[in-house]
């Protein structure tokens, strides 16, 4: 059972900042921030879960069954992630590529301490066993200051796992698969990395978030492993019997000149190539959602609408469905995993082909982070525009990808990858 307290805060941003500083003492931390982005389907402005009471970490083998059992037993708030490689639990697939990060394939925890933000109020839920710590925690949070630290050397050398010529070769191979009819779209990803490197995870996250201000920002800590994410994309949400998926496909850069920026947005909205990319994935998601949906309830609520973020314009669609109330929440996720925007179509063929061409095991990149509520609702993002860090191995990594279709130009695809990588590179190198 949990003890609940609601507090009104005069300076929400200051309190959030101090709360994040305070959270760093714990081994298990999930911070989700909408950056006050106006969203139709948002429940909270921000959420912090810390200090595991119980947890689950597992490899892909029967990963979803283990999560289902854990979620059913706890019947409480649980927070965590699903790596892309759980595809191997859903289908007869493998992940043999290089993995410098070594994150567990699946990780969730039941937090002792939970903070839910909406407007200028924070709704605090502490498990009864630690309820008497709330007053002293609030005092510690209010007085939390930036620790003075010696600056880490800023000599991060970013390397490419796939070089430009190699990238062109691999995209040409993908195009030959598309022209042959094996697939009609594939999300092809490449890794940028740095070895023997130390970063300050929270400071890096705060810088990345300040550059991008996305609606699905995440700071996650699992012992010595960190995710610092500026994700703009929702993967899947359940509220009651309603399911919502919001895939992103289609990216254009921003311009400082207002007229030029409006033109770039308009060009994206009217691009046949970008619209076809997005529509193909919408079809795939409609098919995925229909596996658990009540017949006739799958709807495309928004098709190819362009949204503007600090760094880029993005084309987003919204697909919804309704499920029977006795459908297990984990089954809904399993039947749609991994998200279509990160695979391609047809899904299984695309996953096999990209596995053969990519050089890195995706791991948490293009997986999902989120939470389940005690009622069995959930909300998960797509892990993109993210820096991943293994502190013990001193390994830093970020990956970017793009959808390859019959209309793709390898050079333009490469340039789009560099555009998506820009914020992460800036944060790490400056």
Residue 360 β-bridge partners: 98
Give me the phi and psi of 225, to 5 degrees please: -115, 135
Q: What is the 3-state secondary structure (H, E, C) of the chain?
A: CEEEEEEECCCHHHHHHHHHHHHCCCCEEEEEECCCCCCCCCCCCEEEEEEEEEEEEECCCCHHHHHHHHHHHHCCCEEEEECHHHHHHHCCCCCCCECCCCCCCEEEEEEEEEEEEECCEEEEEEEHHHHHHHHHHHHHHHCCCCCCCCCCCCCCCCEECCCHHHHHHHHHHHHHHHHHCCCCEEEEEEEEEECCCCCCHHHHHHHHHHHHCCCEEEEEEECCEEEEEEECCEEEEEECCEEEEECEEEEEECCCCHHHHHHHHHHHHHCHHHHHHHHHHHHHHHHHHHCCECCCCCEEEEEEEEEECCCEEEEEEEEEEEECCCCCHHHHHHCCCCCHHHCEECHHHHHHHHHHHCCECCCCCCCEEEEECCCCCEEEECCCCEEEEECCCCEEEEEEEEEECCCCCHHHHHHHHHHHHHHHHHHHHC
Q: One of 185, 191, 233, 274 is an active-site residue; which one?
A: 233
Catalytic, 233? Answer yes
CA distance 253 to 265: 9
Show the CA angle centred on residue 379, arms to residues 186 and 403, nearest 5°: 15
Burial of 145 (0-12, 13-18, 19+ CB in 10 A): exposed
Among candidate residues 170, 225, 249, 265, the one labeled active-site is 249
Q: CB–CB of 16/117 below 8 Å?
A: yes
- In the annotation, is 422 catalytic? no
The residues assigned a catalytic role are: 233, 249
């Amino acid at each position: 059972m949990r003890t609940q307290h609601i507090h009104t805060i005069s300076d929400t941003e200051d309190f959030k900042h101090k709360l994040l500083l305070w959270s760093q003492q714990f081994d298990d931390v999930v911070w989700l921030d909408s950056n006050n982005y106006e969203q139709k389907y948002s429940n909270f402005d921000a959420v912090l879960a810390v200090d595991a009471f119980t947890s689950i970490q597992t490899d892909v083998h029967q990963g979803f069954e283990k999560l289902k059992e854990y979620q059913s037993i706890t019947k409480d708030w649980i927070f965590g992630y699903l790596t892309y490689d759980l595809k191997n639990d859903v289908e007869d697939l493998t992940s043999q590529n290089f993995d410098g990060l070594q994150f567990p394939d699946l990780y969730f925890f039941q937090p002792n301490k939970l903070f839910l933000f909406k407007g200028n109020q924070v709704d605090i839920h502490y498990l009864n066993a630690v309820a008497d710590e709330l007053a002293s925690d609030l005092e510690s949070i209010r007085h939390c200051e930036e620790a003075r630290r010696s600056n880490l050397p800023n000599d991060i050398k970013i390397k490419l796992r796939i070089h430009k010529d190699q990238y062109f070769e691999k995209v040409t191979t993908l195009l030959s698969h598309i022209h042959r009819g094996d697939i009609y779209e594939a999300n092809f990803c490449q890794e940028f990395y740095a070895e023997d490197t130390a970063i300050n995870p929270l400071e890096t996250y705060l810088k990345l978030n300040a550059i991008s201000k996305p609606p699905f920002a995440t700071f996650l800590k699992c012992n010595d492993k960190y995710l610092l994410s500026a994700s703009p994309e929702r993967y899947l949400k359940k509220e009651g019997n309603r399911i919502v998926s919001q895939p992103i496909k289609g990216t254009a850069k921003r311009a400082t000149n207002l007229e030029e920026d409006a033109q770039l947005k308009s060009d994206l909205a009217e691009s046949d190539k970008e619209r076809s990319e997005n529509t193909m994935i919408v079809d795939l998601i409609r098919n995925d959602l229909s596996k658990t949906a009540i017949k006739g309830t799958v709807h495309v609520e928004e098709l190819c609408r362009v949204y503007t973020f600090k760094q880029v314009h993005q084309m987003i669609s919204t697909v919804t469905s309704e499920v029977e109330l006795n459908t297990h929440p984990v089954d809904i996720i399993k039947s749609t995993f991994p998200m279509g925007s990160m695979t391609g179509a047809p899904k299984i063929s695309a996953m096999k082909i990209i596995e053969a061409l990519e050089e890195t095991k995706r791991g948490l990149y293009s997986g999902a982070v989120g939470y389940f509520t005690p009622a069995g609702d959930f909300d998960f993002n797509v892990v993109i525009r993210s820096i991943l860090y293994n502190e013990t191995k001193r390994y830093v990594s970020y990956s970017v990808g793009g959808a390859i279709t019959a209309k793709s130009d390898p050079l333009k695809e490469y340039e789009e990858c560099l555009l998506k990588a820009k914020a992460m590179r800036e944060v790490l190198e400056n």
